[in-house]
């Protein structure tokens, strides 16, 4: 199969991957032919495209990090909680969030999250990752713009868990990390407006969302103090110039053996910080999206003083920068015959990302070509460019 952008979808194309709506309901099953009505529905849901079964690309099977149905069920629970928070935010118009420490004066905000249900779904995701020995991010994280906060929360959680698995976190730690990463931006749901995109750095209450998110979790009738700390510290920086408390980091490995020091960033917050930043950069939430390779290079440049360098280096090992199914251009090759040809990655190369195996789709002039298998393995001069 191959990924087609929204503008390239036409009636009669056969869907390669099932599509779910924001409530977790199956919208269109794989192997079904598209018509104008469903193409319009895909656009309304905010998807930028879809995977399509196409002749010549039968061998291309982009892997999923987790089962799509499990992802849909998890997001449905998150949508319910986030929508409840957004709809009730109007009662807090006069609240000074920078000084807020509890919801004692707003009992209607107690137990706003279905924490047990959310944790249950995260536990299933952890079980799936461990059972399948998944320790890499083998795909592009394609999002519905219509539910950007929920999609971003889910993908940040997945990236954080993969980093945690590579750092040999035990099950208890993975549960804590997963819940904190999933809810790291829950404060934005309360500070934002129902039906509008999540708040960004230009919003007057943006810097209040980590602390507010921690309060929301604790006021949900739980004792998740570890997760609360991770949520409230995910925008702290190694150099102490982050927010809300200007904590510092020492660029140490975030493993359990690390000794906690007063005034420093909690180790799980450092992981969530990197996962959050990577997903933000590649999703184009605040600016034009970067490719995985560009995003990792950006984070490496910002490590040591902003991000924990150990975590950034681990992210670089976790992410496949040219995963199976993505569309690329051959910018450079030892064989000039194929320079500037485009193709779909059939097999990723985890050791040398640019030396992948692909199926050609277009010539340098944009004309469709016969699907031809091309291996760049061993081509040290090969250079690919992801086509977003």
In the block, tokens 């660029």 appear at 251
Place 142 in a pLDDT band, splitting at 50, 70 and 90.
confident
Find the range with the poorest average confidence among 102-106, 146-150, 307-311.
Answer: 102-106
pTM: 0.92
Q: Is the pLDDT of residue 239 over 80?
A: yes
CA-to-CA dists, residue 45 to 27, 63, 194, 286, 387, angstroms: 10, 22, 16, 20, 22
pLDDT at 216: 92
pLDDT band for position 223 (50/70/90)?
Answer: confident
Calpha distance 151→22 (Å, rounded) = 9
Tens-digit pLDDT profile for residues 146-194: 788 999 999 999 999 999 999 999 999 999 999 999 999 999 998 887 7
Nearest to 370 by CA among 360, 383, 384, 379: 360
Contact 264, 361 (CB under 8 A): no
Q: Where are the domains of the chain?
A: 2-53, 68-318, 327-386
| Per-residue pLDDT, 23 | 66
Lowest mean pLDDT among 193-207, 239-253, 369-383: 193-207
- Burial class of 195 by CB neighbour count within 10 A (0 to 12, 13 to 18, 19+): exposed
The reported pLDDT for the residue numbered 91 is 66
pLDDT on residue 138: 84
> DSSP letter string over 36-88?
HHHHHHHHHTTBSEEEEE-TT-TT-----SS-HHHHHHHHHHHHHHHHHHHHH
Query: Which of 188 and 110 is assigned the larger pLDDT?
Result: 188
Mean pLDDT, the chain, rounded, equals 91
Q: Is residue 90's pLDDT more than 70?
A: no
Pick the CATH number of 2-53 from 3.90.105.10, 3.30.1360.70, 3.90.120.10, 3.40.50.960: 3.90.105.10
- Find the farthest-apart pair of alpha carbons in the chain and give their distance in angstroms, rounded: 70
3-state secondary structure 255-269: CCCCCCCCCECCHHH
Which CATH superfamily groups domain 68-318? Hypothetical protein af1432 (1.10.3210.10)
């Amino acid at each position: 199969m191959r990924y087609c952008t929204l503008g390239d979808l036409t009636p009669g194309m056969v869907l390669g991957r099932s599509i779910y709506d924001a409530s977790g309901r199956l919208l269109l099953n794989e192997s079904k032919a598209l018509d104008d009505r469903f193409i319009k529905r895909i656009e309304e849901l905010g998807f930028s495209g879809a995977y399509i079964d196409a002749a010549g690309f039968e061998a291309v099977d982009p892997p999923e990090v987790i089962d799509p149905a499990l992802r849909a069920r998890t997001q449905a629970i998150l949508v319910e909680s986030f929508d409840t928070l957004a709809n009730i935010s109007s009662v807090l118009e006069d609240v000074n969030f920078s000084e807020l420490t509890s919801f004692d004066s707003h009992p209607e905000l107690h137990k706003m999250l279905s924490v047990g249900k959310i944790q249950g779904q995260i536990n299933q995701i952890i079980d799936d990752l461990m059972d399948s020995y998944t320790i890499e991010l083998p795909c592009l994280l394609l999002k519905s713009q219509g539910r950007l906060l929920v999609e971003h929360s889910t993908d940040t959680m997945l990236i954080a868990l993969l980093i945690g698995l590579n750092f040999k976190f035990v099950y208890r730690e993975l549960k804590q990390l997963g819940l904190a990463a999933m809810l790291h931006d829950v404060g934005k749901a309360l500070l934002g407006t129902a039906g509008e995109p999540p708040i960004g750095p230009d919003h007057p209450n943006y810097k209040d969302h980590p602390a507010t998110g921690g309060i929301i979790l604790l006021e949900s009738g739980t004792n998740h103090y570890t997760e609360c700390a991770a949520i409230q510290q995910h925008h702290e920086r190694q150099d102490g110039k982050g927010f809300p408390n200007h904590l510092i980091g020492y660029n140490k490995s975030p493993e359990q053996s690390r000794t906690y020091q007063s005034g420093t960033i909690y180790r799980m917050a450092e992981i969530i910080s990197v996962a959050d930043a990577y997903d933000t950069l590649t999703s184009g939430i605040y600016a034009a999206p970067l490719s995985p390779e560009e995003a990792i290079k950006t984070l490496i440049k910002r490590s040591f003083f902003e991000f924990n360098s150990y975590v950034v280096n681990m992210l670089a090992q976790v992410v496949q920068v040219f995963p199976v199914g993505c569309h690329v251009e051959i910018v450079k090759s030892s064989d000039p015959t194929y320079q500037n040809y485009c193709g779909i990655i059939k097999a990723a190369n985890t050791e040398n990302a640019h030396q992948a195996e692909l199926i050609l789709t277009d010539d340098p002039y944009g004309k469709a070509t016969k699907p031809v298998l091309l291996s760049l393995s061993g081509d040290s001069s090969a250079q690919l460019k992801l086509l977003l």
